[in-house]
Amino acid sequence: MEVFILIGSFVLLLLCRVPIALTLIVSSIVTGLYMEIEPSAIIQRMVGGLNSFSLLAIPFFVLAGEIMNEGGISRRLINLSNVIIGKIRGGLGLVNVLASTFFGGISGSAVADTSSVGSVLIPMMKKNGYDSDYAVSVTISSSAQGVMIPPSHNMIIYSTAAGGVSVGALFMGGLLPGLLLGLILMVLTYAIAVKRNYPKGEAVQKKDIPRIIWEGLLGLLTAVIIIGGIISGFFTATESAAIGTLYAFIITFFVYRDIPLMRMGIILKRTFKTLSMVLFLIGASSAFGWLLALTRVPATVSDTLIGISPNNIVTILMIVVILLLLGTIMDMAPLILIATPILLPVAINVGMDPVHFGVLLILCLAIGLVTPPVGTVLFVGSAIGRLSIEKASKGMMPFYAAMIIVLLLVAFIPNITMFLPDILVE
């Protein structure tokens, strides 16, 4: 009965379109009252879920991304990508993917990537003769790299939900899958461009190339500082995030100088708004996860999935299918917090490393971000491209196939994920 009340109230409130954080809290309190647990104990679990030093990195990562985004980093990364690969056929599509790869190493957010890169490149691609569905599909599919390529605050959320998995190992684990996704998307993007005979990109004037490269590399150095500090062991994830934020502040306001210092107030306001939602959600999920553990839901799910088939491949496929389906109806952060305590024991039981499972989980949910009916990134890209969700989803079909191929490679070839953590992270 406890499980029925907990899960039933959760599903019912979701169907009633109650915000996910409130859904988690109400479900937890109602179940707690039935189990004769004091509401104060549930509140303590919420507060306890936020009492983690690693969570301090999230505000810094969000703030660094907001600063660099506001300061024109997306435009500079687009220019840098154009210098590298923009002259060949379908060059703007390839620039789009490469710019998303670069931007993902700074913002760690697929929505921010689509908003920043897409707002520049989607209208530009349409103006140069690219189909709207192609422009939107390239933008939103490549933005999924933003949650894979470090630094990624979603990795930190998973680390917390998984009981303290190394953030450095997660960052390194997501790097190769993220780059692999970008590479396969570039191949697909070029193939479609050739088939549809899209135009070649315009050559950049030679006198502008040194400045473009310099400005682009200055922005990318933010990610290098964060990742390098963690890998070297010189900084913790939180310390690296703080130093990276300070560097982003200096570069944006004293080197690029595209915006005045007074804009910092607006940047902080947006950062606080994002953090209030993320941290509230983490606290609510902590209470919900505690009740899941009390009612033995993770153990029951684990036994059920393993009992369906003794074959590890079948079990991993079931995990992937469950995550893909959940990703189409719920946003990433709450799903990380809810699904991790349920499915991580199953993954460990079939021999998956927690880092491998974390990267697989986030890749599955990244695909969910571009999949209807609740694909946040799909909605943002469609709005920018002024394209209906139906047409955008149809245009995404070959890109969905490419993303699923990468997903299966990551799921069944652990070395793609574990190679860098094994050699770089102690």
Averaged over successive runs of 10 residues, the pLDDT of the chain (426 residues) comes to 82 81 85 83 81 77 81 82 83 87 75 81 87 91 85 85 85 91 93 89 80 86 80 78 87 87 89 84 80 74 74 89 84 83 87 93 90 82 87 91 95 93 78
Predicted local distance difference test score (pLDDT) of residue 409? 95
Bridge partners for 89 per DSSP: 200
**Residue 42 to residue 160: CA distance in whole angstroms:** 18
For the chain, report the end-to-end CA distance as a whole number of angstroms. 45
Find out whether 254 and 74 touch, Cβ atoms under 8 Å: no
Predicted local distance difference test score (pLDDT) of residue 105? 67
Bridge partners for 200 per DSSP: 89
Predicted local distance difference test score (pLDDT) of residue 298? 66
Gyration radius (Cα) of the chain, Å: 22
C-alpha distance from residue 205 to each of 79, 83, 200, 209, 219 (Å) = 12, 9, 15, 7, 21
Q: Cis check for the bond before 414: say yes or no (omega within 30 of 0).
A: no
Find tokens 């708004």 and name the residue: 273
Q: Which residues have C-beta within 8 Å of that of residue 180, sequence separation ≥ 6?
A: 406, 409, 410, 416
Predicted local distance difference test score (pLDDT) of residue 185? 93
Predicted local distance difference test score (pLDDT) of residue 357? 95
Tokens describing residue 166: 């190394």
Q: Which domain holds residue 386?
A: 2-424
**Residue 382 to residue 313: CA distance in whole angstroms:** 36
Find out whether 373 and 382 touch, Cβ atoms under 8 Å: no
Neighbours of 21 (CB within 10 A): 21
Q: Cis check for the bond before 373: say yes or no (omega within 30 of 0).
A: yes
**Residue 228 to residue 232: CA distance in whole angstroms:** 6
Q: Using alpha carbons, select from 101, 31, 38, 24 the residue that is nearest to residue 280.
A: 24
**Residue 341 to residue 321: CA distance in whole angstroms:** 17
Output the 3-class SS for 292-315. Answer: HHHCCHHHHHHHHHHHHCCCHHHH
Find tokens 């929505």 and name the residue: 111
Domain count, the chain: 1
Predicted local distance difference test score (pLDDT) of residue 192? 93
42-51 contacts, C-beta under 8 A, 24 or more apart: 42/287, 42/290, 42/291, 43/287, 45/286, 45/287, 45/290, 46/283, 46/284, 46/286, 46/287, 47/283, 48/286, 49/160, 49/282, 49/283, 49/285, 49/286, 49/287, 49/289, 50/279, 50/282, 50/283, 50/286
Find tokens 């950062």 and name the residue: 271
